[in-house]
Structure 1
């Protein structure tokens, strides 16, 4: 295993802590048990959530990389630590919707559960102070977060991720309703998938369950006070582990 020393805390978010290491090309990410919703207005600590999200994210990153999708992922260490390449994260949250659900149904006259073909791709300005607002063309241009070529590359990469995950999850009896992505640039300018991909960032429904609440295997169980959050995340991990070996230890 490649040795490294943990350095100072670089950033602490709602669900993760990010640490510098003594290696310039290595960052350590600690997954926390904290659960938040509604821009952190609702909070709880769910024991075991960090371990589950770390494991699920690691396996999904490995699957994406095997499919040719570039990510910041390098491996795991322990149960809730992920080692990644440092990236300059673009302050744009990319949301891809395959099925209408959640906020979309409150903002548009689309019934929940309506298939969206082609999938709807939305961009949001990632800033809690402003409530992560939806970016129009004019707003995106005004903020100058990416140029035209970078935006096209960003959207193409997000759609590649969607295609790979749709195929994976459908084979596991899960419907990928929607999900959010964070992307960033590495030191050499490559665009990669960053952050995490887990039931915290994806809506996942069990295709074999008809009941609209019981089929939920994601963070909506916490948002809607349905209970069984850890059990739902555990079910997702079990299914993913059935087809993806790993995760790989760093080093």
Structure 2
């Protein structure tokens, strides 16, 4: 299904009825939309699954509708298992093909929705931002005053936003695009963007509150949603170190650590990715990776180990349970500060 999760189907969804299945989390990761990178991060999949289940159960307790059913093949509650899970049991909805028309016409969302039926995965990511950290794409797309920050230029460090900002981006295109509200509404189909935004804000509130209790700052994140008989529910996975950016003691604790490492240590590859995406846009093709002149170098063993400890220690601290044999969060964060 994705570069970091496998997709297990127990009951196929139909045009009229959701199905059931599981996300099986791997230890792979992706940065800059590349897909599967050269190195797995040991234990990463279990940490994401555990955090995802923990957050889904908090959302359900807060009255936020989700597609979550439990963990493992038996769809058990998280409290019922002894070891960190790797499978998230969920309701499944249809995911139609999104054709690429080419010749400057882009993607055919009319065809997508013609096959969607009454339950489908909304082809959008709904992004919420509480701060503007280093590496945030918002710095390239908006001036500080556009989002309520009283200054003319972005500073070198993170910036707190006076109110959370919600944005919409594409989900199934080869390159993510941020959308204005009108285009997001068109792409969403039967799902209303006002409902999607409201759901994202509720998720943000729940995750931000838990992060603060555990000593983290919740900087930004995203949700995906399913439309089921006209109602929207939170889908995919929520509030992990891959979907969201957190900080602890002023240090990023998320996939952003690896992203920034590649920017510092392997800028030629990062530049090659940017050039390939730009060329794909100019030539009206979907597969930019085929145009890329370089492949990502592997990480060193000590970096893989440090990032693995960050995921495990972070999951322990966020959930308040020692699921993983890992250093304390302070030690794990100190280790990744200079990567």
Q: 1:156-180 CA distances to partner (integer Å, 9 max, x unpaired)?
A: 0110111111111111110000001
Corresponding residue for 1:232?
310
Corresponding residue for 2:44?
49
TM-score by length of 1: 0.81
Contact 2:316–2:322 under 8 Å retained in 1: no
Distance 2:61 2:322 in 1: 11
Corresponding residue for 1:125?
170
**1:32-43 paired onto structure 2 within 5 Å:** 32-40=26-34, 43=37
More relative contact order in 1 or in 2 (CA 8 Å, sep 6+)? 1
The structure whose residues are more often helix, as a share, is 2
Larger radius of gyration: 2
Q: 1:48-75 CA distances to partner (integer Å, 9 max, x unpaired)?
A: 1111111110111111111111111111
Structure 2, gaps ≥5 residues long: 14-18, 74-84, 94-119, 144-153, 263-302, 324-339
Contact 2:126–2:222 under 8 Å retained in 1: yes
Distance 2:20 2:141 in 1: 41
Corresponding residue for 2:91?
85
Q: 1:17-72 CA distances to partner (integer Å, 9 max, x unpaired)?
A: 11211476311111111111001167131121111111110111111111111111
CA 243–152 in structure 1, closer or farther in 2 if over 3 Å, else same: farther
Distance 1:31 1:138 in 2: 34
CA RMSD of aligned residues (A): 2.3
Structure 1, gaps ≥5 residues long: 1-11, 246-251
Distance 2:221 2:131 in 1: 10
Contact 1:39–1:128 under 8 Å retained in 2: no
Distance 1:28 1:126 in 2: 20
Distance 1:244 1:52 in 2: 11
Corresponding residue for 2:147?
none
Distance 2:188 2:322 in 1: 35
How many residue pairs are counted as aligned between the two chains? 224
Q: 1:118-141 CA distances to partner (integer Å, 9 max, x unpaired)?
A: 111110011342x11011134335
Corresponding residue for 1:134?
178
**1:1-251 paired onto structure 2 within 5 Å:** 12-22=1-11, 25-40=19-34, 43=37, 44-77=39-72, 79-87=85-93, 88-101=120-133, 102-109=136-143, 110-111=154-155, 112-129=157-174, 131-141=175-185, 143-146=186-189, 150-186=192-228, 188-197=229-238, 198-206=240-248, 209-210=249-250, 215-225=251-261, 227=303, 228-242=306-320
- How much has 1:108 moved relative to structure 2? 2.9
Contact 2:28–2:36 under 8 Å retained in 1: no
